[in-house]
Amino acid sequence: MEGLRNFIIRLGAIWLIWAGMLIIVPDWAFAYPGSFAPSSGKTLLMIGQDRDTISQYVRATGNIPGGTTSYTSIHKLEGLDVANEYGYGDGPKDGAALLNNYPNSVIQLGFYMVDELANTITGKYDANLRTLAQWIIKANRPVYLRIGYEFDFPVNHYDPQKYKQAFRYVVDFLRKEGVRNAAYIWHSECMPHSGQQWMDWYPGDDYADWFGVSLFSTQQIPTAVDFLKLAREHRKPFMICESTPQGLYTVRGKKDFLEHIFRFIRDQNIEAFCYINSNWDIKPMWQGQHWGDSRIEQYPEIKDLWLKEITQGRYLKASPDLFRSLGWQR
């Protein structure tokens, strides 16, 4: 009888240890495994989209974002280790500086592939993909790669079949190279004209880790909600990949834009939000296109609204524990 009682006590102790382990497992492990998505009720905050505007934002607000954003292309692979004016006058893209300056922040990369889908599929850029794989591994943090971003933007003229093939090719290649710290984002322009055809470009659940959108106008939000429904049907986290108050030149207009975006994030439990904090009109690439000045620090009323929102517990910013909370252990 004594032996049986000791056995039961030991079994109970084992059960308590096992139950305790279950309690401390974060809920990202169950919701979106492998996506580096935050836990429910949290939003990963990222700022872009060039080295200088990001540093100006950090100095002006006193906040280091949970992530920074940059860009490169499959055919040139510019702006990763050496600063480059990607986009011919859109500000310095400098992946190395972002990694060094913000060691506790993730990085999100827009991966430009316009006119290069066929060359990607045939292996022309395998050497570049191998270099990209090494760069991502060396980053040693979650890297969110937007492969062929804004796949449905007419100007990009991505053929749906070739796009899907190229997306899968890139993911398969990086996985074979040993990349384990990347999440792959399927990013829509989020305009009504292509909404009912989205799935024509979908690479599949085994390849797209996130669904994402661009939001430059509050009028896009209903379309974003439709795309979000698809994400939830496919059990994928959702990212606002690019966001800026396009063409709004009044404080009232900018404030209204941000209030709508913040409400959308809260109401729909959006997992990641990337804001472009830039004076678009002074950059050569965007002059004459009337994008405006989206810098938070430029307008006291906007800055106050922004800080009141992003200092809430929902928003994940840089911290020594951020990567672990997203499911990545260095």
The predicted pLDDT at position 15 comes to 31
Global pTM reads: 0.90
Written in H, E and C, the secondary structure of the chain is CHHHHHHHHHHHHHHHHHHHHHHHCCCHHHHCCCCCCCCCCCEEEEEECCHHHHHHHHHHHCCCECEEEEEEECCCCCCCCCCECCCCCCCCECHHHHHHHCCCCEEEEEEECCCCHHHHHCCCCHHHHHHHHHHHHHHCCCEEEEECCCCCCHHHCCCHHHHHHHHHHHHHHHHHCCCCCEEEEEEECCCHHHHHHHHHHCCCCCCCCEEEEEECCHHHHHHHHHHHHHHHHCCCCEEEEEECCCCCCCHHHHHHHHHHHHHHHHHHCCCEEEEECCEHHHCCCCCCCCCCECCHHHCHHHHHHHHHHHCCCCEEECCCCHHHHCCCCC
What the block records as the tokens of 150 is 């804004």
Which residue numbers in the chain have pLDDT < 70? 1-31, 86-88, 194-196
The predicted pLDDT at position 42 comes to 98
The span from the CA of 222 to the CA of 228, in Å, is 10
The predicted pLDDT at position 280 comes to 84
The number of beta carbons lying within 10 Å of the beta carbon of residue 145 is 23
The span from the CA of 205 to the CA of 229, in Å, is 15
Question: What are the backbone dihedrals phi and psi of residue 312, each rounded to the nearest 5 degrees, phi first?
Answer: -70, 160
The predicted pLDDT at position 51 comes to 95
The residue type found at 70 is S
Q: Alpha-carbon torsion 289, 291, 297, 300, what sign? A: positive
